[in-house]
Amino acid sequence: MTYPTPLIPHGSDNFGVLQETFRWKIPEYFNIAEAVCDRHQVHRDRVALYWEDASGQSAEYTFGDLIELSNRFANVLVGLGIQAGDRVGIILPQRVEAAVCHLAAWKIGAISLPLSVLFLGLTH
């Protein structure tokens, strides 16, 4: 059995050596929305996300649901003039809607910025 070449030399306890020799393997093209959602087109009916709130309400979202919802919101973003490389602030609680917004931004190549509702009342 062959093993891939390690990114960090085994047995090194010298942080400088580790830092100098470490390299990320970055692909030429990568879209996280495609990796976590759209590549599951053939499994549209499979559950992708379980959601439950503090009161016990729950729902299931399939890959098909997430694909459809994120495509719809991606079209909204494009209609607003958002393009690849633009930043999109998303200030929503940790719910399905937030995930859909991030997926939509990533699909069009935008950079999503998660902002927390916990900081709404803060001023500088």
CA angle 20, 23, 24 (to 5 degrees): 150
Q: Is residue 9 part of a domain?
A: no
| Res 18: pLDDT | 78
Q: Is residue 10 part of a domain?
A: no
Q: Domain holding 78: CATH number?
A: 3.40.50.980
What's the structural domain count of the chain?
A: 1
| Res 66: pLDDT | 96
Rounded Cα gap, residues 75 and 91, in angstroms: 19
| Res 39: pLDDT | 92
Query: pTM, whole model, 2 decimals?
Result: 0.75
pLDDT of 9 higher than 60: no
SS3 103: helix
pLDDT tens digit sequence for 51-97 = 998 899 999 999 999 999 999 999 999 999 999 999 999 999 888 99
